[in-house]
Amino acid sequence: MPLFNEPLHVGRPNIGDRERLHARFDKLLCSRTLSNDGPFVKSLEAELTTYLGVKHCLAVCNATVGLEIAIRALDLRGEVILPSFTFPATAHAFAWLGVTPVFCDVDPTTHNIDPQAAERLITPRTTGIVGVHLWGNACDTDALANLADRHRLRLLYDAAHALGCAHRGRMIGNFGDAEVFSFHATKFVNAGEGGAIVTNDDLLAERMRRLRSFGLQGQHVAEVGTNAKMSELSAVMGLTNFESREDFIAANRANFFAYQAVLADIPGLRIISPTEQGRYNWQYVVVDVDAHEAGLSRDEVQAYLLAENVLAKRYFWPGCHRLPPYIQDGNQPPSLPATELLCDRLLQLPTGSAVSHKDIAKLGNFLRHLVTRRHKQAA
Ligand code: T4K
């Protein structure tokens, strides 16, 4: 018998107040307005604008397409520098539009793009830099802004993980030219599928609004656009879940500290803490596995957990620079030592409102038993 009868997932969706959800769906069905800038999309955008303290918020169908809209609106071409240590969507958004992603190494402590390494990758073809606020930890926004200014580059942030996180007292969403959030099912605030682009730049917002809806300016097609609109169904889900955000954050936070306590003295397992105090969404529980100290590799730990019905994740393995579409013409992938290290060592454990402290205690004790047994075998 596995340790858990029901599988324990990373990314099990949080569900907000069901009564409100049902009431909103009823209203939606009665209204027969299902898309095209409907009232629920507008409400979600208004809520996010206030919460983040930004000037403009555009709800979109998902963060990947949100990135694509921002890429077009910022006129990014040629080469763009971005971290390899991210979900493939970050790189794909560029490659999809014919922009070459140039993969940069990350800072091994923050797991975010290393601005000095980024500077070394700038060529005459570079038009922009992309920071990913991984696990909700802010990038070095000052250094990146400085770099972008000095080289006249655009600066875009993939904030898919970072809703509800602040950097030095300022909400993420206010950095760079634009930032893109994800409301995918696995994010702590989900719309089923969805995302939002935010910016404080009026002209950019106007252009992105056009691009989101077939290039339409009023009734006229002003330029080539796409369809990146969020449906009213997603907005109902997003709005209702957004209202429960503080409950979800509290659950994530309590889970994080429960994991921290239970993993505290297990040799070779170290839980990664947020890089700064203050507002944080705690939506990923990231553990660094030191194979030498633990006596087991990250992949072995993952396999043992899987046998017990725990679907831990290897975000992000392999690094984007090692994915087949980015190894062209038999070229060797670039040397990104910090990225390689993190790709080989990090493991994400289940959290969110579907995970109980009892589950965490059981899982932690299992990991302790696993490492102790290995140490005894080695002695
Ligand atoms: N940038 C970054 C840095 C990102 O991390 C992401 C997405 C994006 C951009 C793009 O955002 P979107 O275009 O998606 O808005 C998941 C998500 O699919 C992906 O959105 C997310 N990042 C990434 C970190 O995680 P997978 O491959 O792990 O998904 P999957 O299907 O294995 O699901 C994970 C676990 O969640 C499973 O064990 C089952 C559980 N699950 C999943 C879904 C969809 C459920 O229990 N219910 C569900 O409905 O990528």
Q: What is the per-residue pLDDT across 227-260, written as a single tens digit (0 to 9) for each?
A: 999 999 999 999 999 999 999 999 999 999 999 9
Break the chain into its structural domains and give their ranges.
18-243, 245-312+350-378
pLDDT of residue 233: 98
CA of 147 to the centre of ligand 1 (A): 31
CA of 122 to the centre of ligand 1 (A): 31
Under 8 Å between Cβ of 180 and 195 = yes
What is the position in ligand 1's atom list of the atom closest to the CA of 316? 24
The phi, psi pair for 286, rounded to 5°, reads -110, 125
What is the sign, positive or negative, of the torsion defined by CA atoms of 73, 79, 84, 88? positive
What are the tokens at 192? 């089923």
In the beta sheet, which residues pair with residue 230? none
Can you name the CATH fold of 245-312+350-378? Aspartate Aminotransferase, domain 1 (3.90.1150)
Total-model pTM: 0.98
Under 8 Å between Cβ of 335 and 311 = no
Which residues of the chain are under the pLDDT cut of 50?
none
CA of 149 to the centre of ligand 1 (A): 33
Query: Which one, of 350, 377, 299, 254, lies nearest residue 3 by Cα?
Result: 350
pLDDT of residue 285: 98
Looking at domain 18-243, its CATH architecture is 3-Layer(aba) Sandwich (3.40)
* Ligand 1, pocket-test mutation among 106, 130, 184, most atoms within 8 A of CB: 184
- Tens of pLDDT, residue by residue over 30-70, are 999 999 999 999 999 999 999 999 999 999 999 999 999 99
CA of 146 to the centre of ligand 1 (A): 32
In the beta sheet, which residues pair with residue 197? 58, 180
Q: What is the largest CA-CA distance in the chain?
A: 76
